[in-house]
A and B are shown apart, each in its own frame.
Chain A
Amino acid sequence: MEGPKVQLFVTCLVDALAPEVGRASLDALEKAGCEVSFPLDQGCCGQPAFNVGLTADARMMARHTLEVLDATEGTIVIPSGSCVTMIVHHYPALFDGTPDADLAARVGGRVRELTQFLVDDIAAGVEARCDGCSVAFHHSCHGLRELGLRGQADELLAAVNRVEFEGDEECCGFGGLFSVEMPAVSTAIMDTKLDRLEASGADTVVGGDFSCLLHIEGGLRRRGSSIAVKHIAQLLGDDS
């Protein structure tokens, strides 16, 4: 029997900055028996423009994303709750009353976040592994509050040694372009997060959204911390 057909949308940041997260996502999906394709023409979902209010630019990127994805079949899986939120929750508003409204609804209906897909949709039975690690899990805001992702990571990480992480549901201070527009504020919020991370005793911090992890990792490196930063896909797939 053929496995579920999946289109992998890796997100622009993973594509350009962390291809290993893309490969790990691919591995995790293939281990779960999926038949994975990667639409090569994919770009950015448009969230950076949308979040600063540059709607025309956001629509341009969104329309391109919709066209690329609409030409494919199967479930579209994205290893980022934030980008899923953009497509599923914000595209309808972005295209409301335009000829692309149906397109947005059609594609949006096929989009799932990676852990949501693995746990809720196909009950893949894949398990995260991190031998000898003490893991702190950071819940990224959009996945948590807009998609309601919480138990999915817990289930995937069941066999991993987790540590208590104070404020694991609080923002890391990234906020997209907020991090460069208001660096002092972003940094102060991040510092609280990193202080708590260091206090947790974890040697590895894991999350489901690469953008927040890029922020956390950048801050940890600047501090000279040895805490490792991993996308949850990297604990699921072989490519870590």
Chain B
Amino acid sequence: MTEPVTFLSRAEALIGSHEAEAVEAGIRNFLVRRESSFAEFPIAEELRDRARAIRLHSLRHLDRLLAHFADRVGEAGATVHWAADAEEANRITAGILEDAGARLVVKSKSMVSEELELNHHLEGEGLTVVETDLGEFIVQLAGDTPSHIIAPVMHMTRQDVGRLFVEKLGVPYTDDPLELNRIARTHLRDIFLRADAGISGVNLAVAETGSMVLVTNEGNGRYTTTSPRLHIALMGMERIVSRWEDAAVILETLARSATGQHLSVYTNVVTGPRREGDPDGPEEMHVIVIDNGRSDILSGDTAEILACIRCGACLNACPVFRTAGGHAYGTVYSGPVGSIVTPGLHGMEPWWELPYASTLCGACEEVCPVRIQIPTMLLRLRERAAREGRLPGWLEKGMSRYANTVSDPSRWRRSKRWASRLSGPLSAGGWIRRLPGPGRGWTLSRDMRRPARESFADWWRSNRES
């Protein structure tokens, strides 16, 4: 019988691997940059409070904001589409591309397109899709999947990338980041100029003007949305704020939390297609607003997770993510936020185990720019998993027995004595090297104390009660 592929089995394969080492090195860099960016910023905490209030406001008034946004987008000359699920979003996208006779499509980074598996779908329709974010470009060349929401190739070293470029692009080997960048740029420049359509994500939509904000550090977002004659923007329906002054708060919080920058190198604002007199820009623009499970999350007890601005700080802070890397999660959205988003979007089966991939240490909540109560959400999903009867039998039965025992003083007293006596043959010098049953997991790498011959309660009884 083959074991099911679980978070644990994926993590076991990754721990200590070359990939995990690359992740650890990448994260250290991010952590240092984030910390210094916040340390030098006097109103960082106030900014986070405001960002949280703004995002929660958006979630409370999502229907109104989206309706207003759609009206403004229409006035600006673009078309808004609503997609209930991935299938519909992919069908709409493919339809627009077909109507425009597009064959070659460039894409800037979009996590929601990863969630939809859009590339796969479009390639199935005979289209050529090229990722233009450097990280995503590398992932695509390697036939891999992104491992971090803002650093898709965190799991690769520059040497890995150098070897990949030799193999796939036929260039001489180099591991100089600037040179690697130049190679990708040269390769992509030609594709940009020939592309029939550009597909982008949306970091933030601003309802008051029907605008979409894209942040990048490479300028590929700007190229994707201005050079081809057709632009399609894919947007998760929660990615919206009311006004520009709100957007400013979110953008600054995002950059500082994600990369430790004051603002990303490019902050691109798109409002409708090319107008009379514009020197460039697409002739045709479509915005696809995607639900794909978000309404379900919004109506449940983890709705707050939709306030996430996708900065990735919780991934970097998470000891579990740092140990195993993003691929252990087996899904687009990894780390603490992903462990809440994924079961929400795609259902508890088979994703219910992800909320258990956490020590509940709280480092994620500590760095979250919008102060999402991540451990609380993880606990709620664990409660749901347990309620649905998904926990292993030994845990359910064992916990029930334990709860009954410790809540019955005389039974608890006897149990402690028995435990000490029964563990005698297993232990040497007060320590157990190998536990049977589920306790085996502990003693794989750790000794366990033998239960004391005299519990504290028994000691108190003998020495203090008279």
8 Å CB contacts to B: which residues of A33-91? 38, 40-44, 46, 48-55, 57-58, 60-61, 63-64
Consensus secondary structure, chain A interface: helix
Contact B386 A175 (CB under 8 A): no
Q: Are A185 and B407 in contact (CB under 8 A)?
A: no
A122 lies within 8 A of chain B by Cβ: no
Partner of B8, one of A41, A42, A55, A184: A184
User: Would you give the 0/1 interface string for B338-371, flagging 1 where the beta carbon is closer than 8 Å to chain A?
Assistant: 0000000000000000001111111101100000
Are A183 and B442 interface neighbours, CB within 8 A? yes
Instruction: Collect the chain B residues with CB atoms within 8 Å of residue A188's CB.
Output: 15-16, 323-324
B171 within 8 A of A: no
Q: Which of B399-420 contact A (CB under 8 A)?
A: 399-400, 402-407, 409, 412, 416, 419
Contact between chains at B366 and A145 (CB < 8 Å):
yes
CB contact under 8 A between A57 and B452, given known A44-B406, A141-B363: no
Tell me if A181 counts as interface (CB < 8 A to partner B).
yes
A41 vs B419: C-alpha distance in the bound complex, in angstroms? 18
Residues of chain B with a CB closer than 8 A to A215's CB: 446
Q: Is A189 an interface residue (CB 8 A)?
A: yes
Interface status of B396 (Cβ within 8 A of chain A) = yes
The answer to whether residues A218 and B456 also contact, given A51-B360, A53-B385 and a CB cut-off of 8 A, is no
**Which of A41, A46, A53, A61 makes the CB contact (< 8 A) with B383?**
A53
Q: Which residues of A contact B456 (CB under 8 A)?
A: 10, 14-15, 19, 22-23, 38
Are A43 and B412 interface neighbours, CB within 8 A?
yes
A145 pairs with B362, CB closer than 8 A? yes
With a CB–CB cut-off of 8 A, which chain A residues contact B441? 179-183
Interface of B is mostly: helix
In the complex, per-residue mask of A11-24: 1 if CB is within 8 Å of any chain B CB, else 0:
01011111100110
Contact B319–A57 (Cβ < 8 Å): no
Residues of B within 8 A of A186 (CB): 359
B448 within 8 Å of A by Cβ?
A: yes
- Confirm or deny: A219 has a beta carbon within 8 angstroms of a beta carbon on chain B: yes
Q: Is the pair A48, B399 in contact by a Cβ cutoff of 8 Å?
A: yes
Q: How far, in whole Å, are A112 and B386 apart by their CA atoms in the complex? A: 30
Question: What is the bound-complex CA distance between A54 and B447, given in angstroms?
Answer: 27
* Distance to closest chain A CB from B465 (angstroms): 8
Contacts of A60 in B (CB 8 A): 403-404, 407
**Is A218 a contact of B442 with CB atoms below 8 Å?**
yes
Looking at the assembled complex, report how far the CB atom of B207 sits from the nearest CB atom of chain A, in whole angstroms.
34
Contact assessment for B11 and A171 in the assembled complex, using a CB-CB cutoff below 8 Å:
no
Q: How far is the CB of A63 from chain B (nearest CB, A)?
A: 8
A182/B452 in contact, CB under 8 A: no
Name the one of A61, A182, A189 contacting B406, with C-beta atoms under 8 angstroms.
Answer: A61
Interface flags, B380-391, vs A, CB<8A=1, else 0: 011111110001
With both beta carbons as reference points, the residue of chain B lying nearest to A174 in the complex is identified as B359
A38 to B319, CA, bound (A): 37
Cα(A107)–Cα(B465), bound, Å: 24
Interface hits, B1-18 → A, CB 8 Å: 7-8, 11-12, 15-16
Per-position contact with B for A121-134: 1 when CB-CB < 8 Å, else 0? 00000000000000
A101 an interface residue at 8 Å Cβ cutoff?
A: no
Residue among B400, B407, B448, B451 with the highest chain A CB neighbour number at 10 A: B407
Chain B residue at minimum C-beta to C-beta distance from A146: B362
Q: For chain B residues 227-259, which have a beta carbon within 8 Å of chain A?
A: none
CB–CB B438/A180 < 8 A: yes
For residue B265, CB closer than 8 A to chain A, the reply is no
Q: A96–B213 Cα gap in the complex (Å)? A: 41
**Which residue of A is nearest B438, CB measured?**
A180
Contact B460 A38 (CB under 8 A): yes
- The answer to the question of A228 belonging to the interface, with a C-beta cut-off of 8 Å to chain B, is no
Partner pick for A184 among B11, B319, B439, CB 8 A cutoff: B11
B399 touches A57 (CB 8 A): yes
Among residues 198 to 212 in chain A, which have CB atoms less than 8 Å away from a CB atom of chain B? Answer: none
A106 at the interface (CB under 8 A from B): no
Residue contact B359 to A141, C-beta cutoff 8 Å: yes
Contact in complex: B382, A52 (CB < 8 Å): yes
B395 touches A182 (CB 8 A): no
Asked whether, in the complex, the Cβ of A43 is within 8 Å of the Cβ of B407, the reply is yes
Instruction: State whether B457 touches A145 (Cβ < 8 A).
Output: no
Pick the contact of A170 from B319, B324, B357, B386 — CB < 8 Å? Answer: B319
Q: Does A108 belong to the interface (CB within 8 Å)?
A: no
Contact B358 A175 (CB under 8 A): yes
Contact of A189 with B320 in the complex, beta carbons under 8 Å:
yes
Q: Is the CB of B455 within 8 A of A16?
A: yes
CA distance A179 to B391 in the complex (A): 16
B378 CB to closest chain A CB, in angstroms?
Answer: 9
How far is B365's CA from A186's CA once the two chains are assembled, in angstroms? 20
Return chain B residues, CB-CB under 8 Å to A50: 379
- Chain B 317-345 near chain A by CB (<8 Å), digits 1 or 0: 00110011000000000000000000000
Please tell me if the beta carbons of B451 and A189 are within 8 angstroms of each other in the complex.
no
Q: In the bound complex, do residue A145 and residue B385 qualify as a contact, i.e. CB atoms below 8 Å apart?
A: no
Contacts of B452 in A (CB 8 A): 16-19
C-alpha gap A11/B131 in the complex (Å): 54
**Is A214 an interface position by the 8 A CB rule?**
yes
- Kindly state the separation between the CA atoms of A32 and B358 in the bound complex, as whole angstroms: 38
- A17–B366 alpha-carbon span in the complex (Å): 32
Q: How far is the CA of A179 from the CA of B445 in the complex (A)?
A: 10
Residue of A nearest to B429 (CB): A221
- The reply to whether B320 and A51 contact each other, CB–CB distance below 8 Å, is no
Residues of A close to B461: CB separation below 8 A? 40
Q: Is the CB of A222 within 8 A of B446?
A: yes
B168 — which chain A residues lie within 8 A by C-beta?
none
Contacts A53-B391, A57-B402, A174-B359 supplied; 15 other A-B pairs, CB < 8 Å: A16-B451, A23-B456, A38-B464, A48-B399, A49-B399, A51-B379, A54-B400, A175-B361, A182-B441, A183-B441, A183-B445, A185-B11, A192-B323, A218-B447, A222-B446
A residues with a Cβ closer than 8 A to B are: 10, 12, 14-19, 22-23, 38, 40-44, 46, 48-55, 57-58, 60-61, 63-64, 141-142, 145-146, 170-171, 173-190, 192, 214-215, 217-219, 221-222
3 closest A-B pairs (Cβ-Cβ)?
Answer: A175-B359, A218-B446, A43-B406
The contact sample of 24 A-B pairs, CB cut-off 8 A, is A14-B456, A15-B455, A16-B452, A17-B451, A19-B455, A23-B456, A38-B457, A40-B460, A41-B409, A43-B409, A43-B412, A46-B403, A51-B382, A52-B399, A54-B396, A145-B363, A145-B365, A178-B360, A180-B439, A182-B357, A183-B444, A184-B12, A187-B444, A187-B446
